[in-house]
Structure 1
């Protein structure tokens, strides 16, 4: 293996902590720097993960995002800031000459996403949406089962993701200006995985229950895919749903267990009454797999990943824009 991929993490919130924890289990990856809006926050983050890795002195702490973007000896920056900041922060990192792994939602809309992709291509830099489900062993196993023909011709996907979140109007998930709502936090998972399994979407129809703060509390949408298949998806901040995914075919079905984006096993049920469960353990906390794949792309000189291409990310952002238009969800960034 070549020298380790040196990572910088932009942001010090919960998701940044989760990614940093996952990075510890990625072979050939090193957390080299962190950037925050204050030196104190960045240093506390660096101290926390430096102590855990035994390399405290090796994690540089920067008191601004701009300093991290220009930091020497950093190969790639993970963007883990609040939703509305993703595009601005990714552009900052790309202009600093860094590859970028940007947390979902990739941007607030298709326009922002297009600007990010155009800049990465112009600079010949790697850029990927951090949709970690795409790289989990469970999804790979589902794809293998589908390809084998075991469940026959696939015709439908059903997927949902929901839990009962806080109703505090000041919390991020309920604040319009912070990109709150069920769709961008939760619905993006069934949307992305349905498209990964069934391909491009030719039509989408959505309905939603809106909250007092202007965000969607529950959203459901159906998608007709170009191959003649259908997906039925839902998400909610007010319902503790099964949060499973089921792919149905003419001869049976395969189910990704709760929570499907973290499934440690998939179950196959066939028309003859037989059933079996396939273990699908994952590394670390799950974030590890996308970090490994991003590192592989850097070593191979790629600017996009074949399982999460720029065009697919742009297509997903356009779908989210359409769904939001249908349910009346508009953000300040629009």
Structure 2
């Protein structure tokens, strides 16, 4: 087939972002990957670790070259040497921990899912705007180079009017499923852990393609664990003239792929589309591919931190690639999916 030339990503080199002094609140598995990505691919400085376990804080700081440890989250956010806080606790605690940092005047990057629900997200948005600091969801795929290729293809109208979006993220957890995924008190379930990626992808496509940002319809079905959280969810979401079919599961593995179908052609993101990936675009009998990632796997976490540092230097208080209002809308959709599936967390109205 004749080649189709795809646009190059506009993603800045993460090593060029101005350095901020970072503190990590609640060092765990994903925080370890995040710290490694910063060290290997950026000029960001990890200066402090906050953990309620002195042993965990010390071990993490030693492994990742942090300058100091704090044995309370309050001490971390009050540290004058910290410019920005990465909240890496379970999403059941994101609201409380992010509020601590925002009220201390820190810029905040909150691991996905941003909060348990849209009501908690709105609280954080109000607090950030009152403090005049940058608050951002750590939906790292929004900041990856291949995502900007998809964004540019859609903005340029290369595949025409978008009519269908598909995305999936299923992992067979097996008998060793992390206990937090089964615990309602920790906002367990697959939707907020893995399904938030397909939800955010669909919303990103809707934004770039000029579709409705607030879904016009949501239909969901799913199955629950014995603890009452979602084990598997399928959702069809309407964005005006387009529909999105989304799937997530801890019961079965899926391809982790994403596709966009337009009136003129289609976009296909390679397997494991939520890490740096390749993109194929087909328009008529022409096909083009892009796969020039220089950072791979969890190394891609560097892009979101670099983006936040750049936005701070530019005086921004919101991310242009994932505005806070869109984060809230995505969680409103997740709330509706959980309502239809029958999942309620302790303390929710």
Q: How does 1:206-285 map to 2 (within 5 A)?
A: 206-226=220-240, 228-272=241-285, 274-283=286-295, 285=299
Distance across 2 between alignment mates of 1:117 and 1:29 = 25
Could you say which residue in structure 2 is the equivalent of 1:202? 216
> Which TM-score applies when normalising by structure 1?
0.93
Secondary structure of the equivalent of 2:293? Answer: coil
Structure 2, unmatched stretches of 5+, are 1-15, 208-212
Structure 1 unmatched runs, 5+: 51-57
User: Which residue of 2 is the match for residue 325 of structure 1?
Assistant: 339
Aligned partner of residue 231 in structure 1, secondary structure = strand
1:223-276 per-residue CA deviation (whole Å, 9 max, x = no partner) reads 1114x211110100011111100011122211111111114211123332x433
The DSSP-based 3-state class of the residue aligned with 1:262 is coil
Q: Moved runs in structure 1, 4+ residues, more than 4 A?
A: none
Q: Does 1:286 align with 2:294?
A: no
Q: Is residue 49–residue 61 contact of structure 2 (8 Å, CA) maintained in 1?
A: yes
Q: Structure 1 residues 142 and 170 mapped into 2: Cα distance closer, same or farther (>3 Å)? A: closer
Distance 1:136 1:282, change over 3 A: farther
* Greater mean deviation of Cα atoms: 198-207 or 239-248: 198-207
Q: How many residues align?
A: 325
The answer to whether the 8 A contact 1:137-1:282 is kept is no
User: 1: CA distance between counterparts of 2:17 and 2:29?
Assistant: 31
1:26–1:291 contact (8 Å) kept in structure 2: no
Q: How far apart, in 2, do the equivalents of 1:257 and 1:69 lie?
A: 39
Task: Give yes or no for the alignment of 1:123 onto 2:131.
Answer: yes
For residue 33 of structure 2, the aligned residue among 15, 18, 31 is: 18
* Higher RCO structure, 1 or 2 (CA under 8 Å, sep 6+): 2
> How far 1:149 moved relative to its partner?
3.2
* Aligned residue in 2 for 1:193: 201
CA contact (8 A) 1:220 1:233 kept: yes
1:146 offset after TM fit, Å?
A: 2.3
Match of 2:45 in 1: 30
